[in-house]
């Protein structure tokens, strides 16, 4: 990979970054135009999970336990021996992180018959089918049909416009109620 020829010095680059960081941000008119087309009333879809492929379940579990202190739980055959990674000790009764900005994740066994087996993020949505339409309209590529995760929800993977693989998940109603209840509790203190 060739490095770009850049005449700026490192110190002037840092100064420019610092100046940008301290300046008040003005709304992006392009973003506002997109929001005005039907999504203005809806909240942004949050990143809710990360996923990484694995080749050796014991090795990956040992690594993340030792390196970062994560709790690793291997699910049964019904879930394809998926490994849940709990990245924080502060979780609610459903295993969701209590602190805003923290997410848990998981590891799946690499499968040569599936596309783009790379680290990715999972975005929570109200409707997978609606999200698929928005992804394609925005220039992304949906990878196959939605799949059921027993007891969790429906998901589908996609490529964004830069070739990054991500997924969207529509939680089952029980999971949505849990999410809404935890949000309500944070806001009201009840």
pLDDT at 38 over 70: no
How confident is the model over 72-84, as a mean pLDDT?
Answer: 90
Is 139 buried (19+), middle (13-18) or exposed (0-12) by CB count in 10 A? exposed
Share of the chain above pLDDT 70, in %: 68
* 8 A C-beta contact, residue 164 and residue 88: no
Please check the confidence at residue 129 and state whether its pLDDT lies above 90: yes
How far apart are the C-alpha atoms of 153 and 170, rounded to whole Å? 6
Domains of the chain: 46-188 (3.10.180.10)
Give the other-Cβ count within 10 Å of 11's Cβ. 8
Single pTM value for the model: 0.63
- Indicate whether 62 pLDDT > 90: yes
pLDDT of the residue at 126? 92
* Cβ neighbours of 52 (radius 10 Å): 17
Question: Across the strands, what pairs with 153?
Answer: 149, 171
pLDDT single digits (tens) 85-122: 999 888 888 777 888 888 889 999 988 887 778 888 99
Q: What is the pLDDT of residue 80?
A: 87
Residue 135's pLDDT band, with cuts at 50, 70 and 90, is very high
Q: CA-CA distance, 181 to 190, in Å (whole number)?
A: 10
Q: What is the per-residue pLDDT for 177?
A: 46
């Amino acid at each position: 990979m060739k490095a770009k020829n850049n005449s700026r010095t490192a110190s002037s680059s840092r100064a420019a970054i610092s100046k940008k960081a301290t300046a008040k941000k003005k709304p992006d008119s392009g973003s506002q135009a997109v929001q005005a087309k039907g999504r203005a009333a809806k909240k942004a879809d949050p990143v809710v999970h990360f996923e990484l492929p694995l080749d050796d379940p014991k090795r990956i579990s040992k690594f993340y336990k030792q390196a970062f202190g994560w709790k690793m739980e291997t699910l049964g055959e019904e879930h394809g021996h998926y490994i849940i990674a709990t990245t924080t000790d502060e979780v609610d009764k459903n295993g969701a992180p209590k602190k805003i900005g923290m997410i848990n994740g998981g590891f799946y066994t690499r499968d040569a018959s599936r596309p783009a087996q790379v680290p990715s993020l999972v975005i929570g949505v109200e409707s997978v089918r609606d999200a698929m339409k928005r992804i394609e309209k925005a220039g992304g590529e949906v990878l196959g049909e939605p799949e059921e995760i027993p007891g969790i929800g429906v998901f589908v993977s996609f490529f964004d416009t830069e070739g990054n693989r991500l997924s969207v998940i529509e939680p089952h109603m029980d999971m949505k109620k849990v999410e809404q209840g935890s949000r309500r509790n944070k806001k009201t203190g009840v």
